[in-house]
Amino acid sequence: MQNRYPTWKNLLVAGVVLFGLLFALPNIFGEDPAVQIALANGDPLGDATVSRVEQILQAEGLAGTGAFLEDGQVLVRFAEEETQFRAKPHLEEVLGEEHLVAMTLAPRTPGWLRALGIQPMSLGLDLRGGVHFLFEVDMDAAISQVTQNYERDFKSLLRDENIRYQSVRAADSKVFVVLRNEADRDEARRTILSETNEVQLLDTTVSGSPALEVTMTDIQLRQRQDFAIEQNITTLRNRVNELGVAEPVVQRQGLNRIVVQLPGVQDPTRAIEILGATATLSFHLADTTNNPLEAERTGRAPAGSRLYSDRNGRPVLLKRDVIVTGDQITDAQSGFSEGQPAVFVDLDPKGARRMLETTKNNIDRGMGVVFIEQNRREVERNGEKVFENYTDERVISVATIRGVFSNSFQITGLTSIEARDLALLLRAGSLAAPVYMVEERTIGPSLGQENINQGRLAVIVGFLLVVVFMLVYYRVFGLFANLALFVNLLMIVALLSLLQASLTLPGIAGIVLTVGMAVDANVLIFERIREELRNGNTPQAAIHAGYEKAFSSIADANITTLIAALVLWTLGTGPIRGFAVTLSLGIMTSMFTAIVGTRALVNLTYGGKRVERLAI
């Protein structure tokens, strides 16, 4: 029995080792503090911006160690963090709002590796530092928003079809359409069902009058809740991009929660204000026939109107009918109009048609802009502190319509900071449902570096202890196992770099666990070889039997562990996923290195020759 691999299998092992070396190589060069500059509208930057940025920094004595283009963005490296911290606000001030400036860490990867598209593995928040937010989505509010839209749409639909009704009122997850008689109810049912098949209609009575109780189907409820989560994730991701944070993480957690991680951000105040804001706008015609002071005194608004307050607390009467809502805004930019801060707004086609029709018929009449924000406050009920949701609505502007316009107009009456933040929120999109922060953590860069150092130490200590044990107990075969273990670590790092999976502190724990588990297969194989030798088999026969007979036990043990790791990755979130990723990769690489890798070394050493005894 020769115990020799065919040439292709030896070349495969050599190729895997070279692959691991190549893709793991960028991780040894370290990182530089840097700033990343991009255009807010997503367009790529050019060489002219690189030169301009270098001139700006040199003029202030903040020159970096190098500036270059990367994926349409300008990256400027610095020798120390202090210069990086000073350069960011200066670049933001000079370049203006059309540029996004973010602090990041730039790998010192050589140009030839970057040209091959090979990057170092990314580090999680617990290793890099930054802020972690956990938001909870208000699912009840998501459903309530749909019923309010139904209320508005049903009113318009019934008016258009000349169907008389007493009232249309949304209540929680239902809409009650109160009609004058049975015939009107039958006609209203046919009209509503012809418009939408996503609701259920039940006959009922309200104060003795025939009515329809409109509810969403179970499928529609689940779809709306999923839509609220996915839309909020998209909106939060857009807002994070507007903040100019490099390598953010925005992902769903569980049924109704969203995790946002912002690496490199150390002051979470502005991030909280922007990410948690549920602000949107609605536009209404002003009620010019009634007195808002009288409405405030009596506490009752005239029919068809609603009483609001402006930023100074003065009463304002606006018509209830909505002209345009915030979700019809496609773009918003802050700037100045006639020396005053303003937000320049663009509407989608539907909103533009509605605005055109309104302004055409209401020249010289006032139009109000209502700022709507969902908030949560802590109150005491029955001796217990609980959270309640409330809506803050205030008029930020009432302007006279001087001309006809449709898809583009401007909002004034704001401070420059309010205009900037409002434009950001409108541009990023409104949240499909309010979100409330349930957890906030800030991890400093020094703590992140400490985690890296401790994690590296844990891996090294675990690796060395295993190496010493294997050398003492299995001698030359132990050396083979140690070489395979080194290649195994190399492969894990290479795959993390290739897949750009974030390495977290639990991920390091997964690597340390893999170091111990990786030699399990070799222990089974080597003990089987010893047993075969004790039974009187020749060394060559013992080697063959050891690898062949131990394989099924090794496969069973690793497959069951891999299944558990995949379940952790599928159902887990955050740190659990980080652990599952490195554990899964470690299991797959250890199967190859422990079985194929060590067998190749054993065959090269003992195969094809007469062997009297084995150093095992």
pTM reported for the whole predicted model: 0.61
Lowest mean pLDDT among 260-274, 373-387, 529-543: 260-274
Query: Tokens representing 195?
Result: 């418009």
Percent pLDDT > 90 in the chain is 1
Above 60 in pLDDT, residue 1?
no
Q: What DSSP letter does each residue of 452-505 carry, written as one string?
A: HHHHHHHHHHHHHHHHHHHHHHHHHHHHHHHHHHHHHHHHHHHHHHHHTPPB-H
Residues 97 and 206 in one domain: no
Expressed as residue numbers, the domain containing 180 is 140-221
Query: Residue 382 CB: number of other CB atoms within 10 A?
Result: 5
Residues 17 and 55 in one domain: no
Separation between Cα atoms, residue 332 and residue 261, nearest integer Å: 26
Percent pLDDT > 70 in the chain is 91
Residues 21 and 35 in one domain: no
Is residue 513, in this structure, part of any structural domain at all? yes
How close are the terminal C-alpha atoms of the chain, in Å? Answer: 19
pLDDT attached to residue 269: 61
Under a CB-based contact definition with an 8 Å cutoff, are residues 608 and 2 in contact? yes
Is residue 259, in this structure, part of any structural domain at all? no
Instruction: Give mean pLDDT, residues 366-395.
Output: 76
pLDDT-based confidence at residue 18 (cuts at 50, 70, 90): very high
Residues 208 and 313 in one domain: no
Above 70 in pLDDT, residue 170?
yes
Is residue 507, in this structure, part of any structural domain at all? yes
CATH number of the structural domain spanning residue 367: 3.30.1360.200
CATH number of the structural domain spanning residue 490: 1.20.1640.10
Separation between Cα atoms, residue 301 and residue 289, nearest integer Å: 12
Query: What is the helix, strand, coil percentage profile of the chain, to 5?
Result: 50, 25, 25
Above 80 in pLDDT, residue 432?
no
Separation between Cα atoms, residue 452 and residue 507, nearest integer Å: 11
Residues 373 and 474 in one domain: no
CATH number of the structural domain spanning residue 62: 3.30.70.260
Which secondary structure element, helix H or strand E, spans residue 273, and what is its range? helix 269-276
Q: What is the pLDDT of residues 37-63, one digit of tens each?
A: 877 666 788 888 888 888 888 888 888
Please give the angle made by the CA atoms of 7, 8 and 9, to the nearest 5 degrees.
Answer: 90
Instruction: Give mean pLDDT, residues 495-505.
Output: 82
Q: What is the pLDDT of residues 70-115, one digit of tens each?
A: 777 888 888 887 888 888 888 888 887 677 787 777 788 887 887 8
Residues 311 and 199 in one domain: no
pLDDT-based confidence at residue 151 (cuts at 50, 70, 90): confident
Residues 403 and 308 in one domain: yes
Q: Which amino acid is at 604?
A: L
Above 80 in pLDDT, residue 452?
no
Is residue 114, in this structure, part of any structural domain at all? no
Is residue 441, in this structure, part of any structural domain at all? no
Under a CB-based contact definition with an 8 Å cutoff, are residues 105 and 449 in contact? no
Listed ranges 99-103, 505-509, 583-587; the one with the highest mean pLDDT: 583-587
Separation between Cα atoms, residue 179 and residue 164, nearest integer Å: 7
pLDDT-based confidence at residue 137 (cuts at 50, 70, 90): confident
Instruction: Please identify, among 171, 191, 221, the residue that sits at the C-terminal boundary of a domain.
Output: 221
pLDDT attached to residue 279: 62
Instruction: Please identify, among 85, 107, 129, the residue that sits at the C-terminal boundary of a domain.
Output: 107
Q: What is the pLDDT of residues 403-424, one digit of tens each?
A: 888 888 887 777 777 777 777 7
Is residue 258, in this structure, part of any structural domain at all? no
Query: Tokens representing 294?
Result: 């009288």
Separation between Cα atoms, residue 467 and residue 100, nearest integer Å: 49
Residues 92 and 191 in one domain: no
Residues 356 and 454 in one domain: no
Lowest mean pLDDT among 4-8, 408-412, 445-449, 468-472: 445-449
Mean pLDDT of the chain: 81
Please give the angle made by the CA atoms of 390, 395 and 397, to the nearest 5 degrees.
Answer: 155
Structural domains in the chain (count): 4
Residues 458 and 602 in one domain: yes
Is residue 487, in this structure, part of any structural domain at all? yes
Instruction: Please identify, among 50, 83, 107, the residue that sits at the C-terminal boundary of a domain.
Output: 107
Is residue 474, in this structure, part of any structural domain at all? yes
Q: Which residue intervals of 342-412 are DSSP H helices?
A: 349-361
Q: What is the pLDDT of residues 222-268, one digit of tens each?
A: 887 888 888 788 878 877 776 666 667 888 887 788 888 887 665 56
CATH number of the structural domain spanning residue 157: 3.90.1070
CA 553 to chain centre: 41
Residues 577 and 546 in one domain: yes
Separation between Cα atoms, residue 488 and residue 484, nearest integer Å: 6
Residues 579 and 474 in one domain: yes
